[in-house]
Structure 1
């Protein structure tokens, strides 16, 4: 895996989490963020994270959870990375 792509995905995850912090866009952002999560992280873990992100964004008072960044840490730090499950943007 290219180190440049790894940190580009971290920056992208942080930006997507910051978008999720914007108040009053939850109904629009929830399905978009769930979809982006499943495309950014392929496989079963990406699908699970997509559902989690959708629920986290649609529920009030949960916008503070940085779900994209958590998934980045899970993928690149805690889990052995499989090159076939990650899209390099």
Structure 2
């Protein structure tokens, strides 16, 4: 349980690093790679590409892609799974 909150703290930190001006040339590919290491599988690869694009395009640095991915993984996706389980239990 604590591990997911450490991941949230790391996500917020990585999003903050992305706000630093003039490091996009280095940060864009690095952030994409980090995203694929934090989240495995196809979803991690997709998130890595999105993060790379978001960091590479000037003016989009304000989008907290790491935090959004954490929310997707631990809040929205979890709730969707719980709803599916609840639907099966109701039958």
TM-score normalised according to structure 2 size: 0.85
Structure 1: gaps (5+ residues): 82-89
Question: Shift of the alpha carbon at 1:68?
Answer: 0.1
CA distance in structure 1 between the aligned counterparts of 2:56 and 2:25, rounded to whole angstroms: 6
Runs of 4+ in structure 1 deviating by more than 4 angstroms, as ranges, are none
- Offset of residue 24 of structure 1: 0.4
Q: Which has the higher helix share?
A: 2
Larger Rg: 2
Deviations 1:61-89 (A, max 9, x none): 000000000000000001139xxxxxxxx
2:6 corresponds in structure 1 to 8
Aligned-residue CA RMSD in angstroms? 1.1
Name stretches of at least 5 consecutive residues in structure 2 with no aligned partner: 80-91
1:50 and 1:80 mapped to 2: Cα distance?
A: 21
How many residues align structurally? Answer: 79
Mapping of residues 6-45 of structure 1, within 5 Å? 6-45=4-43
For residue 63 of structure 2, what is the aligned residue in structure 1?
65
3-state DSSP of counterpart to 1:79: helix
- For residue 80 of structure 1, the aligned residue among 78, 81, 84 is 78
TM (norm. structure 1) is: 0.86
